[in-house]
A = this chain, B = another copy of it.
């Protein structure tokens, strides 16, 4: 039995327009995408806040995946809402509306039973809150964390304090360049690792992932798909598959991290095939393993 993963982040209702259709007020948010992806590999404990409009049908999705939602707070008010629209090639996203609602005052309290979690994922929230969460965890084995341009610009000192206690930072390429203040990714990665994280995972969307760990670099492609419907949540789904696979593995080393990155990429590739969490809530172990093998075939070449 794999050790449990604690995730702190957002649960939201997303409204998404893509060239292939639209979906209104579907279940989304970083903690949602992360939890469901991770649940295929390890038990997940969810800390987030929702409003009184968050009905039992949504809780059923968490139950189906055996996600422990005791850390889900129901606050007076409405659940976080986000609306966005993608360009014709899905490479650009425009935010149409953001209503933080109950998420605005989110001050995560980690339930007593969660405090001995060994694997911790800090979704993209205020870095002061991320640090506060970490201080509530007794003895984490592995802490991974996400952030965004908003915190890099507005709360850099807080973010640096948090990074000092993080093992793995998982961000995209523009955030990497912005955080380091350097255009070259290899140099930027070295600079970011000097802030604390021993490992940096750079998400590059349709171009896959680069992982930096000391002087070692790992490059994983994204899975080339004929039909991409909705990229929303792909990054958090990646992080969920990644942390889940590492937790299931039990060892934390470059071998397990590389395999975790492939499992994360597998889960992200499923995520974009339908709107919201629709595809990732309906996967079989066989489908996941088949796509892992397809990644092997996708990247294989003979030794010298």
Please give the residue numbers on chain A whose beta carbons come within 8 Å of chain B beta carbons, in ascending order: 88-89, 183-187, 204, 207-208, 210, 216-221, 224-228, 255, 258-259, 261-262, 289, 292-293, 296-304
Beyond A218-B298, A219-B224, A219-B298, 9 additional pairs, beta carbon < 8 A:
A185-B224, A186-B225, A217-B224, A218-B299, A255-B302, A258-B300, A292-B304, A293-B304, A299-B299
In the assembled complex, which residues on chain B have CB atoms less than 8 Å from the CB atom of A216? 297
Q: Min CB distance, A287 to chain B, in Å?
A: 13
Q: Are A228 and B184 in contact (CB under 8 A)?
A: yes
Q: Are B292 and A261 in contact (CB under 8 A)?
A: no
- A220-B299 Cα distance, complex, nearest whole Å: 7
- A207-B289 Cα distance, complex, nearest whole Å: 26
A183 touches which of B89, B221, B302 (Cβ 8 Å): B89
* A217, A301, A304 interface centre (most CB from chain B within 10 Å): A301
**Copies of this chain held together in the complex:** 2
Q: Min CB distance, A216 to chain B, in Å?
A: 8
Q: Are B218 and A88 in contact (CB under 8 A)?
A: no
A185 nearest CB neighbor, chain B only? B224
Chosen A-B contacts, 10 in total, with CB atoms closer than 8 Å, are: A88-B183, A187-B226, A207-B207, A208-B219, A210-B224, A217-B224, A217-B298, A218-B301, A219-B221, A296-B304
Q: Min CB distance, A158 to chain B, in Å?
A: 28
Closest 4 CB pairs of A and B: A219-B221, A207-B207, A258-B301, A89-B183
- A262-B289 Cα distance, complex, nearest whole Å: 26
Q: Taking A207-B204, A218-B301, A219-B299 as contacts, is the C-beta distance between A224 and B186 under 8 angstroms?
A: yes
A295 nearest CB neighbor, chain B only? B301
In the assembled complex, which residues on chain B have CB atoms less than 8 Å from the CB atom of A292? 304
In the assembled complex, which residues on chain B have CB atoms less than 8 Å from the CB atom of A219? 208, 221, 224, 298-299
In the assembled complex, which residues on chain B have CB atoms less than 8 Å from the CB atom of A297? 216
Q: Are A296 and B300 in contact (CB under 8 A)?
A: no
Q: Min CB distance, A68 to chain B, in Å?
A: 28
Q: Are B289 and A296 in contact (CB under 8 A)?
A: no
Q: Are B298 and A303 in contact (CB under 8 A)?
A: no
- A226-B304 Cα distance, complex, nearest whole Å: 24
In the assembled complex, which residues on chain B have CB atoms less than 8 Å from the CB atom of A221? 208, 210, 219, 221
